[in-house]
Structures are given as structure tokens and as C-alpha cells.
Amino acid sequence: MVVPSVLGVFAHPDDESLSAGGVLARHAAMGARTAVVTTTWAEDTPRAEELSDALRILGAEEPRLLGYADARVPQSAPGQVRFCDAPLDESVRHVVAHIREFRPDVVITHDAYGGLTGHPDHRHTHRVTSLAVQAAALERLCPDAGAPWRPSALYLATHPHSAARALGAGLMRQGREMFSVPDEWIGAAVDVGPWFERKVAAVLAHRSEVARGALPGRIAVLPPVEQRRLLGTEWYIRHDLAPAPAARTELTP
């Protein structure tokens, strides 16, 4: 069985572990190449160090940080433009360069809502990545960003309506609006049970988020059975980008 290589593109350090940590850990354990591009935060920040620790736990390569500022945290990249405000062509070109260098079979990113929270950085990461996976295959687009490469599939990390209703109270702060998609849109529902401990360890490696009581912090104080209920399945919308053998386009279950 050929296990597809996976490149994740996510907005913030910790998104990779929360949204796709199980899939990343499974693919790495089966011998596939895995890596993550993070669109915000600078390399010389504590959260970048935490990201490196999390990716090491998941078996992925070293972080690939674009270095833009978080929409809500200016100190995430001092002196740099917010990711949401950066020129679109520039942001797309950066992601294209990573796709062409890594040459993944599968790219994973946020869904169009930006996941349950609808964070603007998540939504913009979805837009930029969706454009980049198409541009990466076209030789006349971003010609200075490497040789063309066409991933076989794009997977969007999401929650179906049924899961949002069942799990939302545990994942969202009270009173926050939730964003989810129709159940029939789900192309892959992955039980990450065998890699669950590794996923949780990666989530908790984001120590500053644990300390300030963000989602990793709320997860840290839950009993293991509740952690597993909230994080034991990952859902994806699948978009095929190129004809290829099933083993190269499908996430391993």
C-alpha cells in the first residue's frame, strides 16, 4: 500500500494538531512524508518553538512558517503585515513554493468557514491554499517558485452538523457561533484512535495556549475519555485535483 504524503496548511500554531493531528501522526507512522505550513507567527516567537515540538511529536518535518501576523495578535510577527492584509498574489506564491518543493500527494487545510470558530485567519488560509493548489500545477503561474506540481487531492478539515451539535459545547466557548457543514459533504471521517495519545500530546505542546486557557488549555484539564470524545475523529471535505490511483488520493482510514 502506498501511503500518500501530506502537506498541511494551517493558520496558527496548534491548528495542525487540533484539526489534523491524528491523520498527520498516522501517515508519518506508516512511512509517509508529512509537513505543515503555518501562515502566521514569526520564527523567533515562543509559539514557533511550540509548533516545532508539536510537529516532532506528530512525526512531521520542521515548521514552515510564512511569518505573517495573526489578525488578532500583532506581537505574533512584530513589524509584519497581518496575513489577512497581505497581497493575495504574494501569499499564494509563498504557499505554491512550499507545494512545489514538498510535492505532496494530499494537501489539507481549513474549510471555507475556517472551521467551527470561523476565525478570519482560518478563512483566509483556506482561500490562499485553494488558489495555491491550482496555481502550483500551472507552469506559467509563479514561475519563480519551482517546477510545477499537481497534488492529487485537497482535503478540508471541517465538522459536520451532527458532530457540531454533539461536540460543540466542549470545543467552543459559551455563546460563540459555530460553523459546520451538511453531513453529506463529508468525504472522509477518520477514526484516529490508535494515534490519539500522540495527537493530544501535540495539542498540549502548545504550552502558551494551554496557559492562557485557549482550546488546548481547556482540553488539558479534561479526563481522557472526554478528550477522546472531542478529538478522536477528524472530518474532511474532499476535492479531487488530478486523476490518480486511489492509494495516492485517499487519506488512510
DSSP 146-190: -S----SEEEEEE-BHHHHHHHHHHHS-TT-----B-GGG-SEEE
Q: Which of 54-68, 132-146, 163-177, 181-195 has the lowest mean pLDDT?
A: 163-177
Query: Which band of pLDDT confidence, cut at 50, 70 and 90, is reported for residue 25?
Result: very high
Maximum distance among all alpha carbons in the chain?
A: 52
Report which of 137, 22, 11 is spatially closest to residue 72, judged by C-alpha positions. Answer: 11
* CATH 3.30.1330.10 fits domain 6-249: no
pTM assigned to the model = 0.95
Query: Can you tell me the mean pLDDT for 225-242?
Result: 95
Cα-based distances in Å from 219 to 8, 12, 66, 161, 176: 22, 17, 27, 21, 17
Q: What is the mean pLDDT of the chain?
A: 95
Q: What percent of the chain has pLDDT over 70?
A: 96
Contacts of 166 (CB under 8 A, 6+ apart): none
Rounded mean pLDDT, 170-176:
86
Average pLDDT over residues 137-166: 97
Check if the beta carbon of residue 30 is closer than 8 Å to that of residue 194.
no
pLDDT at residue 176, as a whole number:
86
Name the least confident of 22-31, 127-136, 242-251. Answer: 242-251
What pLDDT was estimated at residue 169?
A: 86
- Is the pLDDT at 247 greater than 50? The verdict is no
Per-residue pLDDT tens over the stretch 150-164: 999 999 999 999 999
Nearest Cα residue to 234 out of 184, 130, 163, 161: 163
Helices 224-231 and 161-171: angle between axes, nearest 10 degrees: 140
pLDDT tens by residue, 115-127: 999 999 999 999 9
CB atoms within 10 A of CB 1: 5
The span from the first CA to the last CA of the chain, in angstroms, equals 13
Q: What is the pLDDT of residue 246?
A: 47
